[in-house]
Amino acid sequence: MRRIIVAGNWKMNKTRSEMQDFITNLVTELDSFEELLALPLICPPYVYLQESKRICGQSKLEIAAQDVSKYESGAYTGEISAPMLSSIGVSYCIIGHSERREYHNETDNEIRDKLLILRKERIVPIICVGEKLEEREKGTTSDTIISQLSEIFRDVEVNDPAEQIIAYEPVWAIGTGKTATPELAQEVHSLIREWLAERYSSDMAAGISILYGGSVKPDNFASLLQEPDIDGGLIGGASLALVDYLTLLKTGNRIAGTLQS
Instruction: Give the nearest distance from C-beta 78 to ligand PGA in angstroms.
Output: 21
Contact pattern for ligand PGA over residues 195 through 214, marking x by CB under 6 A: ------------------xx
Q: Is 251 in the site for ligand PGA (CB under 6 A)?
A: no
Please enumerate in sequence order all residues whose Cβ is within 8 A of that of 69, keeping only pairs 6 or more positions apart, or say none. 76, 79, 80, 81, 82, 114, 117
Q: Is 236 in the site for ligand PGA (CB under 6 A)?
A: yes
131 alpha-carbon distance from chain centroid = 16
Instruction: Give the nearest distance from C-beta 84 to ligand PGA in angstroms.
Output: 23
- Contact residue for ligand PGA among 8, 9, 115, 212 (CB under 6 A): 9
Residues 174-193 that bind ligand PGA (CB under 6 A): 174-175
CB < 8 Å & 24+ apart, contacts of 111-116: 111/151, 111/152, 112/151, 112/152, 112/153, 112/154, 112/156, 113/70, 114/67, 114/68, 114/69, 114/70, 114/82, 115/152, 115/153, 115/156, 115/164, 116/156
d(CA 207, CA 202): 9
The answer to whether the Cα torsion of 153, 123, 67, 253 is positive or negative is positive
Catalytic pick among 62, 97, 99, 163: 97
Active site residue 169: yes
- Contact residue for ligand PGA among 67, 131, 169, 244 (CB under 6 A): 169
Active site residue 97: yes
| Candidate ranges 27-35, 52-60, 233-241, 245-253; the one touching ligand PGA (CB under 6 A) | 233-241
Q: Is 252 in the site for ligand PGA (CB under 6 A)?
A: no
Please report which residue ranges of 14-162 form alpha helices under DSSP H: 16-30, 49-56, 82-87, 98-103, 108-120, 133-138, 141-152
- Contact residue for ligand PGA among 4, 85, 216, 225 (CB under 6 A): 216
Quickly count: other Cβ atoms within 10 Å of residue 5's Cβ. Answer: 23
Instruction: Give the nearest distance from C-beta 197 to ligand PGA in angstroms.
Output: 26
Instruction: Give the nearest distance from C-beta 17 to ligand PGA in angstroms.
Output: 23
| Candidate ranges 15-23, 68-76, 223-231, 232-240; the one touching ligand PGA (CB under 6 A) | 232-240
d(CA 210, CA 130): 12
CB 177 within 8 A of CB 209: no
Q: How many residues bind ligand PGA (CB under 6 A)?
A: 13
Nearer CB in complex with ligand PGA: 27/216: 216
d(CA 125, CA 111): 10
Q: Is 130 in the site for ligand PGA (CB under 6 A)?
A: no
Instruction: Give the nearest distance from C-beta 172 to ligand PGA in angstroms.
Output: 10
Residues that bind ligand PGA (CB under 6 A): 9, 169, 174-175, 213-216, 234-238
Residues classed as catalytic? 97, 169
